Amino acid sequence: MHYALCLALFLVGLYGVMVKRNLIKIVIGLIIMESAVNIFIVMIGYRKDGIAPIMSKVMDPSVFLARSVDPVPQALVLTAIVIGLGVTAMTVAIALRLYEKYGTYDIKEIRNLKG
């Protein structure tokens, strides 16, 4: 169920990127796609009633293994968020420069290149 919702979110983002004509809406579509993938990564490591993956001296290792959530996806998602931030900043910067040059956010009017 959760995974289906996550996929739906991903598809919403993809729809935004592919169909929308406004530069800013395309950027938002990209952000939604990224978030969907990030949520997916976090869900991989999820465990119901899990504990934080911090090992203390008094804890029994086998109990720790049985109960803690997987820390790797959390580390991954932090990196992925930072990378996503960089890409978003770059996209927004270029979108703003395009607006300065063309005076519009509509990609139908920004059409010098044939593709």
Q: Which parts of this chain interact with another protein (CB under 8 A)?
A: 10, 14, 17, 23, 26, 30, 33-34, 37, 40-41, 44, 72-73, 76, 79-80, 83, 86-87, 90-91, 94-95, 97-98, 101-102, 110, 112-115
The residue (of 64 and 102) whose beta carbon lies closer to another protein is: 102
For helices 2-19 and 23-44, give the axis angle rounded to 10 degrees: 160
Comparing CB distances to another protein, the nearer of 58 and 77 is 77
Per DSSP, 22 falls in state B
Could you report how far apart the first and last alpha carbons of the chain are, in Å? 39
Q: Which is nearer to another protein, 47 or 97 (CB)?
A: 97
The radius of gyration computed from the CA coordinates of the chain, to the nearest angstrom, equals 20
In contact, 42 and 60? CB cutoff 8 Å: no
Q: How far is the CB of 12 from another protein (least distance, A)?
A: 13
* Closer CB to another protein, 51 or 90, in the complex: 90
| Least separation in angstroms between CB 98 and another protein | 5
For residue 77, the tally of other CB atoms under 10 A from its CB is 19
